[in-house]
Amino acid sequence: MLPTDRRSFLAASAASLALPSLSFASSDAKAAPALGKAEHCIMVWLGGGAGQIDTWDPKQVGDPKAKKPGSYYPAIDTAIPGVQVCQHLSRCANVLDRFIPIRTTNHDVIDEHAAATDRMHTGRRSDATLTYPSVGSVVTHLKGPLDENVPAYVLMGYPSTTRGPGFLGAEAGYIYLTETTSGPKGLTPPADIQAERRARREALLEKVRNDYVLKRQDIASVVDYDRMIARSLKLGGPDFLKLFALDTEPDSLRNDYGGEFGQRCLLARRLVQAGSRFIEVSHNLNFLNGTGWDVHNEGIVNQHKLIEELDRALATLVLDLENHKLLDKTLIVVATEFGRPAGFDGGGGRGHHGKCFATVMAGGGLKTGQAIGVTDELGMNIVERPVSVPDMLATIYATLGIDPHEDLYAGDRPVPITDGGVPIAELFG
């Protein structure tokens, strides 16, 4: 029966208009991604472009002299039945059941290292009008530290905008260091400044800060910066700096981790224990082969040294976290800006390849012991299960209990966390 008066008609109309919204909400809830319970993420960054065909997705062995495309090294079996890796990843091969090789990561950036690095950290193309936050900064912004005595986000490597907070502001930024023998330079007190003198200086600074902020508390950037100063002063204290005393760890464990890169991974474990949320560990500092992972021409000759160093530190990190009952709480991500083609260049090395390359995850409470994606006989094209960079980042967020469909805000402008990324469903449940 049709309503006979104006009030009844409006009420009936409002009810009918509400029905589609209720239906949509129900449908949307069903599509919500599964969320994990991990509390930390360690990203191992292979700067330069690590070749999938020479590491996590080996194919037939090629010959650079004869220009026969293929892997540089033979493959070996792993703890995942039917999945092989390069022979120089022998330690990881033995514990690969704790890993997930994702062999079909892809994007469309080829020749620009900086642009590809930015893409892998933000999931988006660079924008002249907006600086997007990195994955570490997003996690920091949404999760914060588990303990206020440690930074939420630590970068072991050189600072860059790519790793930064973008429009999220300084509080979502990182603390960085370039060596593990001491704390970050900006936080380490000078040796000749005694505690009493330092306390007097900090008291004076606090008065100046308070007076300045009181007059400018309506300026967000001033308030944001002042909070960062307060955090920095706290992190300059003994509670945080004692984490860098790696010599308190057993010599046998430090030896298992290996050289400076391995010590970075050990420090990452200590930071996880202390409550840091996101730690990026760069593995391109020693250039054991002269070029790092950017193996054009003769740079590929000693690439195996880099792979072996990664293998040693990474396998030890996984087992060390497991021994401390932290592996299920900590997602490890091994990432790089792009991969390498199967063919060889004029000097016997390899160019760049973004159409498919490998990202590797471990731990995090995910369903490990499986490989995601299949590539063709030379690792040049995706055959099954492509994983976009937004998908990869959405998986990281979901593992850490962050809804990857959530919005961030650049001022009043809503910005989705990922550019349409969908978590890899096979890893959850």
In this model, does residue 303 exceed pLDDT 60?
A: yes
pLDDT of residue 226: 61
pLDDT of residue 28: 45
pLDDT-derived band at 182 (thresholds 50, 70, 90) equals confident
Lookup: tokens for 138: 């997003």
E strand residue ranges, 364-406: 374-375, 382-384, 387-388
* pLDDT tens digit sequence for 199-252: 676 667 666 667 666 667 766 666 666 666 666 666 756 778 889 999 999 999
Lookup: tokens for 222: 């001033």
* pLDDT tens digit sequence for 87-144: 999 999 999 999 999 999 999 998 899 999 999 999 999 888 899 999 999 999 999 8
Query: Among 265, 293, 281, 290, which Cα is nearest to 52's?
Result: 293
Q: Locate all alpha helices (DSSP H) within 146-302, ordered by sequence.
A: 195-215, 220-235, 238-241, 251-257, 260-274
User: What integer best gives the mean pLDDT of the chain?
Assistant: 88
Distance CA 172, CA 283 (A): 23
Lookup: tokens for 228: 């960062």
Query: Among 331, 350, 334, which Cα is nearest to 342's?
Result: 350
Lookup: tokens for 254: 């430090």
In this model, does residue 26 exceed pLDDT 50?
A: no
Query: Among 178, 176, 155, which Cα is nearest to 286's?
Result: 178
pLDDT of residue 315: 98
pLDDT of residue 205: 64
Query: Among 392, 418, 400, which Cα is nearest to 364's?
Result: 400
pLDDT of residue 288: 82
In this model, does residue 10 exceed pLDDT 60?
A: no
Among 53-62, 101-110, 235-244, 418-427, where is mean pLDDT lowest? 235-244
Distance CA 276, CA 148 (A): 9
Lookup: tokens for 4: 């006979």
* pLDDT tens digit sequence for 240-296: 888 999 999 999 999 999 999 999 999 999 999 999 999 999 997 767 888 899 999
Measured CA to CA in angstroms, residue 384 lies from 39, 64, 290, 341, 370 at distances of: 31, 28, 35, 18, 14
Distance CA 78, CA 80 (A): 5
Fold exhibited by the domain 34-188+245-427: Alkaline Phosphatase, subunit A (3.40.720)
pLDDT of residue 214: 67
Tally of CB atoms within 10 A around 424: 23
pLDDT-derived band at 184 (thresholds 50, 70, 90) equals confident
DSSP SS3 for 153: strand
Lookup: tokens for 19: 């029905």
Ramachandran class of 209: left when φ > 0, alpha when ψ lies in -120 to 50, beta otherwise: alpha
Contact between 105 and 387 under an 8 Å Cβ cutoff? The reply is: yes
* pLDDT tens digit sequence for 358-408: 999 999 999 999 999 999 999 999 999 999 999 999 999 999 999 999 999
The residue extents of the domains of the chain are 34-188+245-427, 190-235
pLDDT of residue 31: 65
What are the two backbone dihedrals, phi and then psi, of residue 99, each rounded to the nearest 5 degrees?
-110, 170
Query: Among 84, 53, 101, 89, which Cα is nearest to 307's?
Result: 89
Distance CA 330, CA 173 (A): 20
Measured CA to CA in angstroms, residue 174 lies from 137, 160, 182 at distances of: 7, 10, 17
